[in-house]
Structure 1
């Protein structure tokens, strides 16, 4: 797979291009809560507004790619997002709150671009490997980005951290503009910009695939919140970084195995296992190392589940609508994160960390059941238009 023309460049480029997105949430939280001294509630409100913008903007930017190509969208999002971050340090809180929606709406959609490029560059029989490696790359980015954000914000200033995010956005946007990765394969160009009615491709099966993506991120977001609460209750918060490193390595290992095998588990099964394996984790939350080991099995299901949704979206979406389809997938991920953290956090506040893990896992199992009912668990035939030429 890495021997395919353009794949090594794409993987390296996407590893770098995702850094701003991985650091943005942490920088925004620290800037409002610490730099502006407004507290974490105010920071959460700004983050929530930005999240709404991201969820609404992702499919719109995908539609721009479908109709006008990648470069016009890159200009729009790079200029828009960079303008937000480079001026954020000078905004008052009300202005920042109002501009957060626009900043989210115009986020450079590096995740979506990577998934579209993989579908264009990689034949169907190698896409599981490609999307699995992409998920591993995401894990590496999220091990580096937030840590860099915290280091810059705490050791220098939150204002400088916002400028750092803005500068990284510009660098990523320019690099993507220069490389201009293909978002459609050569044999797919014949379809041109033909608009296919949404009802023809946004089927119940596709909705089920999006549900799996949202459910996976719901479980992960809920697990993150509960993990911090459990470590705090055990007075071992200083070990958070070690636990995060263990679960990221476990997720990456799971992704490598998923990409290496000839036949992997269906996405609904992976989703169900992700949820089921999280439910009992609270029983082992007494010591940080026990918690880390207890999270390894569920974490190993993380990257495979996310990779499976990317593979399935590329299989079901027509090439001329792939940008909008992957944008909706990004919106599903955002929705999962936006519901998982507050809902599970509310449960933890009113009960215990053990119940937080249980609710996060049960939510994932319920989503897996709903996705199966919608048909996402069945083996889908690959549409000719979305795969290799026949």
Structure 2
């Protein structure tokens, strides 16, 4: 593994300050799930089922809204999208403490639909700042940044919610979202690399959304089926053993493993395909249930599959940025966000049903097998077009 490519990418103009900005900008979205859950279940005293419904409404909104916001970037530019999205997001979070449950439920869907797609924006910015030959390393840096945001965001959110109140945490999310959006608006980073041709009308989606790129989107769905199911099963494993207080350690181990995987992926010369990464992730998830109830063993068994997380996100982003036209990249990366959302919507309830019937061990196994099935679908898509348009191989 050679870390020199990371240094070369970080020394490119504007990469470091914008990467740092996106790290902080992604922390509020990373904290929203846990803060909304605590607010609805504890402060509003509506229970965890009602909290899950609010989270699901926001998730559905994000799945529908990310491509719309991406298309707005393609057609009108980043600043136009931020003007709409940041205004809607900040207004929701600042007003959320005043809302009753049903208002919060409806507005959660709306803010998902119009919210700032920080994850896909970060990927689009990094692809615009670096030449195509260095995108693998740059997107590895971006994936590592995402993991760090998910390590820090929820922890800070829970601290504010427990030390002060969930109302204070909601307002903090609104203020930080507004600040991050204002800084992005001021920075106004490029969304297309200077060497790419962007003249002419925008291509129709059916002109590029087929074959290889569809296979990559399917892999993205499979990845989040595995990852979201893994999180639910890990929570259930420790909760049933009465060791909920160790959840932070387990999630830290997951994120740390993903960061290491991202460093390795960005530093090696030959990389596996997105399909192979998904197959490895799914296969390595099946035996994780052997650590059910044992914190140390669970952490050890979770490390191998999470080593594939950041590489898979980076690899899929690299292929999508290359296969989609530059003038439709915002839409394409927004659709990638939707694919991740679809996978989460499948993986979490699938693991939950399996856990209810056979415990956490069955939860890990079932979502692992589901990931293998999704990988099979992606392989069939690749095989169908193998002669003229094979699935990317890394």
Normalised to the residue count of structure 1, the TM-score between the two structures is 0.95
Matches of 1:181 and 1:365, distance apart in 2: 38
Residue in structure 2 matched with residue 321 of structure 1 by the alignment: 328
1:342, distance to aligned residue in structure 2 (A): 1.3
| Cα RMSD after superposing both structures | 1.5
1:229, distance to aligned residue in structure 2 (A): 0.9
Residue in structure 1 matched with residue 127 of structure 2 by the alignment: 119
Asked if structure 2 preserves the Cα contact closer than 8 Å seen for 1:66 and 1:193, the reply is no
What aligned pairs does 1:25-40 form with structure 2 within 5 A after superposition? 25-40=33-48
Residue in structure 1 matched with residue 151 of structure 2 by the alignment: 143
What aligned pairs does 1:311-390 form with structure 2 within 5 A after superposition? 311-375=318-382, 378=390, 380=392
Of 179, 182, 191 in structure 2, the residue corresponding to residue 183 of structure 1 is: 191
Residue in structure 1 matched with residue 6 of structure 2 by the alignment: none
Moved over 3 A (4+): 376-382
Deviations 1:110-164 (A, max 9, x none): 1111111122111122111111111111111001111111111112111111101
1:193, distance to aligned residue in structure 2 (A): 6.0
Residue in structure 2 matched with residue 256 of structure 1 by the alignment: 263
Q: How many residues align?
A: 381
Change (3 A) 1:321 1:357: same
Asked if structure 1 preserves the Cα contact closer than 8 Å seen for 2:246 and 2:295, the reply is yes
Change (3 A) 1:187 1:52: same
Residue in structure 1 matched with residue 239 of structure 2 by the alignment: 232
Structure 2: gaps spanning 5 or more residues: 1-8
Deviations 1:299-342 (A, max 9, x none): 11111111111111011010010010011001111111122111
Change (3 A) 1:381 1:341: closer
What aligned pairs does 1:20-169 form with structure 2 within 5 A after superposition? 20-169=28-177
Structure 1 window deviating more from structure 2 (68-77 vs 106-115): it is: 106-115
Matched, 1:8 2:16: yes
Matches of 2:65 and 2:147, distance apart in 1: 24
Asked if structure 1 preserves the Cα contact closer than 8 Å seen for 2:272 and 2:393, the reply is no
Asked if structure 2 preserves the Cα contact closer than 8 Å seen for 1:217 and 1:333, the reply is yes
Matched, 1:300 2:301: no
Asked if structure 1 preserves the Cα contact closer than 8 Å seen for 2:35 and 2:161, the reply is yes
Q: For residue 297 of structure 1, give the secondary structure of its aligned residue in structure 2.
A: helix
Change (3 A) 1:239 1:184: same
Matched, 1:309 2:316: yes
Asked if structure 1 preserves the Cα contact closer than 8 Å seen for 2:274 and 2:392, the reply is no
Matches of 2:119 and 2:364, distance apart in 1: 27
Q: For residue 124 of structure 2, give the secondary structure of its aligned residue in structure 1.
A: helix
Asked if structure 2 preserves the Cα contact closer than 8 Å seen for 1:243 and 1:292, the reply is yes
Structure 1: gaps spanning 5 or more residues: 383-390
Normalised to the residue count of structure 2, the TM-score between the two structures is 0.94
